[in-house]
Amino acid sequence: MVVAAVPILLKYSIDAKLIDKTEEVSSCSNILVGMLNFSLAKIFMWLMTSCGTEHKRLKETFADFFWLKLMYEVPNSRAAHERIVPLLPSGWVDCTTTSSTSNTTTTGEEPDFLWENAPHHETRSYRDSVHCYSHLPNGSAVLDDKWALARLGLGGTKYALETHCFRGPDGFAAFCERLHVILAAGSNQVVLVDNSSSTSTPDEAHFPDLVPLILKEEESTLPVPEGPLPTPPSNLWVIKDAGSNGAGGIWMVHPGNAHLIQASLLPNHRYVAQRYTWPPVLFKGRKCHVRVYGLLTSANPDTFQEESCMYVHDQCFLHVANEPFSYPSSHDDKEDEDKDQLLDASVHITNCCANSHDQDKFAGEIVSDLSATTYKTSKEGVMVVPLQVFRSSIHEQMEGLARSSVPFIRGGHANGGFQYLGIDFVLSYEENSEGQFKPVAYLLEVNAPPSQDTATGLDHAEAVHNAVLGDLLNLWVLPKVSGGAIPSKPGRWQCVYREHDHTKSDASPKTATDIIPSKAVILNKIKWTLFEQKMARLDNEAAAAAAKKDEQDNPEQVGEQKELVVVHNNDTSTLSFQCKWRTTCISQYARMQFPYFSERCQKLNKCNYHPPDDDANTAQRMLFFESAGGAQVPRTVMESMTESMSYRHRNVIGAESKRRARRTLQMILGASLENHLLFLGPNATMLLDRLAHIYVRRKWLTQDDEIIMSTENHLANVSPWLRAAQETGARVIWWNTRADTDMARNNRLKDLLGTNTRLVVMSHASNILGEVRDVSSICRMVKQMTHGKAHMVVDGVAAVPHIFPNVQNLGVDWYVASCHKLFGPHLGALCGLKSTLDEYSSTQDIYREFELGTLNLEGCEGIHGLGIYFAGLGSFSLDEFAADRENDDATLDQRQPSNQCTESKRDRDHDSQISMLSLHGRTPVASPVSQATPALSPDLVQKAYERIRQVEVIILEAFLKELRKCSHVHILENSSDPNDQLCRLPIVSFVHDKIKSSTIVSALYSKNIICRTGRFLCTDEVLAEWGLFNVEEDKGLMRCSFAHYNTVSEVNMLCNALESIADWW
What tens digit of pLDDT does each residue of 1041-1051 get? 999 999 988 99
pLDDT for res 61: 41
pLDDT for res 7: 41
Q: Is 990 exposed, middle or buried (0-12, 13-18, 19+ CB in 10 A)?
A: buried
Mean pLDDT in residue range 548-559: 59
Q: Which residue has the higher pLDDT, 811 or 1032?
A: 811
Per the document, the length of the chain is 1065
pLDDT for res 863: 95
Percent of the chain with pLDDT over 90: 32
| DSSP H or E run through 318 | strand 315-320
Q: What is the pLDDT of residues 302-316, one digit of tens each?
A: 888 888 999 999 999
pLDDT for res 333: 42
pLDDT for res 741: 55
Residue 781 banded pLDDT, cuts 50, 70, 90: confident
| DSSP H or E run through 310 | strand 309-313
Q: What is the pLDDT of residues 639-662, one digit of tens each?
A: 999 988 877 766 667 788 899 999
Q: What is the pLDDT of residues 584-606, one digit of tens each?
A: 888 888 999 999 888 766 665 55
Which candidate, 171, 151, 164, places its Cα nearest to that of 265?
A: 171
Residue 821 banded pLDDT, cuts 50, 70, 90: very high
Taking the C-alpha atoms of residue 787 and residue 755, their distance in angstroms, rounded to an integer, is: 8
Residue 367 banded pLDDT, cuts 50, 70, 90: very high
Mean pLDDT in residue range 858-872: 93
* pLDDT of 14 over the 50 cut: no
Q: What is the pLDDT of residues 334-348, one digit of tens each?
A: 444 434 444 677 788
Residue 211 banded pLDDT, cuts 50, 70, 90: confident
pLDDT for res 323: 86
* pLDDT of 420 over the 80 cut: yes
Helix (H, G, I), strand (E, B) or coil at 745: coil
Taking the C-alpha atoms of residue 348 and residue 351, their distance in angstroms, rounded to an integer, is: 10
* pLDDT of 162 over the 50 cut: yes
Question: What does pTM read for this prediction?
Answer: 0.63
Taking the C-alpha atoms of residue 369 and residue 316, their distance in angstroms, rounded to an integer, is: 6
Mean pLDDT in residue range 466-483: 92
pLDDT for res 228: 74
Query: Which residues are within 8 A (CB) of 176 and not within 5 positions of it... i.e. 6 or more apart?
Result: 182, 258
- Least confidently predicted of 146-160, 432-446, 727-741: 146-160
| Cis amide prior to 611 (ω within 30 degrees) | no
Q: What is the pLDDT of residues 900-941, one digit of tens each?
A: 333 344 444 443 333 333 323 333 333 333 346 788 998 899
* pLDDT of 1015 over the 90 cut: no
Which candidate, 276, 272, 275, places its Cα nearest to that of 240?
A: 272
Strands laid side by side in the 163-167 sheet = 163-167, 270-275, 237-241, 250-253
Q: What is the pLDDT of residues 653-701, one digit of tens each?
A: 778 889 999 999 999 999 988 889 999 999 999 999 999 999 999 999 9
- Check: CB of residue 104 under 8 Å from CB of residue 94: no
* pLDDT of 840 over the 90 cut: no
The DSSP annotation for 115-132 comes to --SS--GGGTTTGGGSSE
Q: Which residue has the higher pLDDT, 18 or 1012?
A: 1012
Q: Please, what's the largest Cα pairwise distance for the chain? A: 104
pLDDT for res 515: 80
- Measured from the Cβ of residue 994, the count of other Cβ atoms closer than 10 Å reads 12
Q: Residue 927: phi, psi to the nearest 5?
A: -135, 155
Mean pLDDT in residue range 511-538: 83
Average pLDDT of the chain is 76
